[in-house]
Amino acid sequence: MVENAGTTPLLVNAAGDTHIGGRAHNEDAILLRPDLDLYLVADGAGGHNAGHIASAIASTAAAHYYESTQTAAAEGPTFDEMGLSWSARRLASAFQQANREVRDIAEFSERCDGMGTTLVAAHYDLVNATLVVGHVGDSRCYRLRDGHLERLTQDHSLINDVLEIEPDIDPERARRLPRNVITNALGMEDRVRASVRTHEVVPGDRYLLCSDGLTDEVDDDQIKQALSLGSTPSEAARLLIDLALDGKARDNVAVIALAVRVAPGVGRLPKKPVPPRRRYVESADPVAQLIEESAPTEDLDSDSREIEISELDDLTDDGEPEVEIVMNDRAAQQQRRQRDDDTVITRNDD
């Protein structure tokens, strides 16, 4: 188990582990860097058995980015001129750096061609009692607070994308959608869209970062029980992996458990920082002009923004009809990569 050090009003204890599960090799990776207040889980995929390379590269790249920006972050303001959190922007930039490095290796190595990885990361700003969570793919972050378990991330999956665009989809059609298709991961495109959010941290909070190898076998009630019963993050992490193995885990399993407590001698916690009023860019600004010029025009075919779902005659191995997803013309050129757990990661190439 590791603990962050320093003069912050809050302390974080963390522990984690991975298990090969039912796979031939382990493509999951974890990173615990209490010196950077950075913790992450990555689940690699694709290439010629190169998923473990993608997850390792992403973890290392994110840590290196935080190392190189540590001084600037400590000396900089909490918010930028637009009222955006610098901690959140820093984590988003770390995701971009990790994505670039995964792409670079994949481009120059035939063995690594097509590799990618999910990533979920937590960065604590303990001076301001906040936590920044970022993710791509289906690796998750949970928070246990006052006996209530809440998932802080939403999977970047085909089923979620369809439900966002077509919330009134017929339940029967929704049931036929494949559950194992990821629509966002590091290595898919030149730039990645990471979902990043900032949360207030409260003493007694417990957090979990995990790959889908855990959540495929362990439900929310079991996660809540393990985080509650584990007296330390080390014990909670062990309980969670044991639960996955008891469920005959078919995939690699990766977990990081974290617990927040008040530092000794601290009598009062800092107030939650309030961002300044946002300064909006004038339309005459060339950046705003660029945004305006790149915005979709009215004569765009509205059908290009819709998802069409149609059943095919062919049946899958389990006897269920396949589902064809057509998003737009680019989808016709869609490439697929497959994770060792049969999860498909889709990619659109320009």
Could you tell me if residue 19 is inside a domain? yes
Write down the H helix ranges in the chain: 51-68, 70-75, 86-108, 158-165, 171-175, 212-215, 220-229, 233-246, 286-294
DSSP per residue, 231-262: SSHHHHHHHHHHHHHHTT--S-EEEEEEEEEE
Say what the alpha-carbon torsion angle 219, 41, 133, 230 is, to the nearest 10 degrees. Answer: 50
- What DSSP state is assigned to residue 50? -
Q: Is 281 within 8 Å of 52 (Cβ atoms)?
A: no
- Is 67 a member of any domain? yes
Lowest-confidence segment of 59-68, 98-107, 171-180, 206-215 by average pLDDT: 171-180
Give the model's pLDDT for residue 339.
64
* Spatial separation of the C-alpha atoms in residues 39 and 33, rounded to whole Å: 6
Number of C-beta neighbours around residue 324 at 10 A: 12
* Alpha helices per DSSP H over 4-82: 51-68, 70-75
Distance from the first to the final alpha carbon of the chain: 45
Query: What residues contact residue 298 under an 8 Å CB cut-off, 6+ apart?
Result: none
pLDDT of 241 reads: 97
Residue-level pLDDT at 280: 58
pLDDT tens track for 278-306? 665 555 555 444 444 444 444 444 443 34
Whether residue 301 is contained in a domain is answered as no
CATH of the domain at 243: 3.60.40.10
- For residue 90, the tally of other CB atoms under 10 A from its CB is 21
Q: How many domains does the chain have?
A: 1
Mean pLDDT across the chain, nearest whole number? 83
Residue 273 has pLDDT above 80, yes or no: no
Please determine, for residue 5, whether its predicted confidence score (pLDDT) is greater than 70. Answer: no
CA neighbor of 223 nearest in space, from 232, 213, 214:
214
Q: What mean pLDDT is predicted for residues 127-146?
A: 95
Contact 225, 232 (CB under 8 A): no
**331 is a domain residue:** no
- CA 245, CA 255: separation in Å to the nearest integer? 13
What is the model's pLDDT at position 288? 45
Is the pLDDT higher at 94 or at 326? 94
In a domain, 309, yes or no: no
Contacts (Cβ under 8 Å, ≥6 apart) of 177: 158, 159, 162, 309, 323
pLDDT above 60 for 309:
no
CA distance 263 to 10: 5
Q: Residue 275: inside a domain, yes or no?
A: no
Distance CA 217, CA 248 (A): 8
For the ranges 12-21, 79-88, 157-166, 213-222, the lowest mean pLDDT is seen at 79-88
Q: What is residue 272's predicted lDDT score, i.e. its pLDDT?
A: 72
How confident is the model at residue 316, as a pLDDT?
A: 44
SS3 label, residue 44: strand
Instruction: For helices 86-108 and 51-68, give the axis angle rounded to 10 degrees.
Output: 140
Of these ranges, 97-101, 158-162, 169-173, the one predicted with the greatest mean pLDDT is 97-101
Give the model confidence (pLDDT) of 10-46 as tens digits.
Answer: 999 999 999 999 999 999 999 999 999 999 999 999 8
Read off the amino acid at residue 194: A
Residue 342: per-residue pLDDT: 65
Cα distance between residue 187 and residue 27, in whole Å: 15
Q: Quote the domain boundaries for residue 30.
A: 7-264
Mean pLDDT of 155-173: 88
What are the pLDDT digits (tens) for 51-69? 999 999 999 999 999 999 9
Evaluate if residue 75 carries a pLDDT over 70.
Answer: yes
Give me the residue label for tokens 């665009």.
165
* Per-residue pLDDT at 213: 95
Q: What was the pLDDT predicted at 170?
A: 87
Half-sphere CA count of 205, side-chain side, radius 13 A: 22
- Does residue 234 belong to any structural domain of this protein? yes
Least confident stretch, 15-19, 257-261, 279-283, 330-334:
330-334
Domain contains 135: yes
Residue 204: phi and psi, rounded to 5, are 100, -15
pLDDT in tens, 204-251: 999 999 999 999 999 999 999 999 999 999 999 999 999 999 999 999
Higher local confidence (pLDDT), 66 or 319: 66
Token pair, residue 333, equals 């050129």
Percent of the chain having pLDDT more than 70?
Answer: 77
pLDDT for residue 285 = 54
Cβ distance 14 to 257 under 8 Å? yes
Residue 298 has a pLDDT of: 46
In this prediction, residue 7 carries a pLDDT of 67
Is 139 or 330 the better-scoring residue by pLDDT? 139
